[in-house]
Amino acid sequence: MLPDRAFFDRLADAAAAQTLPRFRTGTSVVNKEAGGFDPVTEGDRAAEAAIRALIEAEFPEHGILGEEYGTVGADREFVWVIDPIDGTRAFISGLPVWGTLIGLYRNGRSIMGIMDQPFTGERFFADGAAAFYSGPGGPLTLATRDCGGLAQATLFTTSPHLYTGALKSRFEAVQDKVKLARYGCDCYAFALLAAGHIDLVIECGLKPYDIGALIPLIEQAGGVVSDWTGGRAEMGGEVLAAATPTLHAEALAILKA
């Protein structure tokens, strides 16, 4: 049995009850990465715990892959993929471009997902057939736009400093051809693409929980998501999301070179 939209909303509400009270309040931060900076907050952990508790109660036969508490039942037909706060650096900086990501995989393919930004009151949801927005301005059915080609495209990436070596060269080759490049929106950039506000998102080094919930949002709004070889992106890595198949092919030809 598949969950309905009401259940996804329950999950997002449970996460928001943990994240929103801690946003812009000086919540404690722990660095997970020796020799670098990979922050996690008490909000990350509390939100994931709340999401997991609801899933385990309603769908005990499903697996769960989460950023903070690991994986259970990765080989099951249905697996939930959770990032309680995608964009923790934005979260601890007071910037409202972080979001809670909750996706559902069936036999390894992402079929449903939600991206919730509780501070702005925006929620982006893919139900398996179409994608929807709720928030300021009222409810909308999401649809990507056609900018006409790479030369007219707006491109987002989290940070150009994440790319090194050949990845850097290939990313910059695409960046050099677009109309506008902007940085720093984490999962919110993918939501903007699904909503028809931007045209391309390119990322590297993603984990499954960074992209799992976002794949159906973009695909069910009319866009295309793949890795840099053109394969499926459910396992993360280097990811390209585009508003149209034509734009995706144009960018992919450069990233594969």
Residue-wise pLDDT tens digits, 204-247: 999 999 999 999 999 999 999 999 999 999 999 999 999 999 99
Q: Please, which pLDDT band fits residue 105 given cuts at 50, 70 and 90?
A: very high
Looking at the DSSP bridge assignments, the partners of residue 112 are 104
Cβ–Cβ < 8 Å for 130, 220: yes
**pLDDT one-digit tens code per residue, 172-203:** 999 999 999 999 999 999 999 999 999 999 99
- Which range of 17-26, 55-64, 83-92 scores highest in mean pLDDT? It is 55-64
Q: What is the C-alpha radius of gyration for the chain, rounded to an integer number of angstroms?
A: 17
pLDDT of res. 1? 80
89 vs 82, which has greater pLDDT? Answer: 82
pLDDT of res. 35? 56
- Which range of 25-29, 30-34, 198-202 scores highest in mean pLDDT? It is 198-202
pLDDT of res. 39? 59
pLDDT at residue 13 tops 90: yes
Which architecture does CATH list for 150-255? Answer: 3-Layer(aba) Sandwich (3.40)
pTM listed for this prediction: 0.94
pLDDT of res. 231? 98
32 vs 113, which has greater pLDDT? Answer: 113
Cβ–Cβ < 8 Å for 113, 215: yes
pLDDT at residue 19 tops 70: yes
Q: Stretch 40-46: mean pLDDT, rounded?
A: 87
| Mean pLDDT score across all residues of the chain | 95
Where do the domains of the chain lie? 5-141, 150-255
Q: Would you tell me which CATH number, out of the four given (3.30.470.20, 3.30.540.10, 3.30.9.10, 1.20.200.10), belongs to the domain 5-141?
A: 3.30.540.10
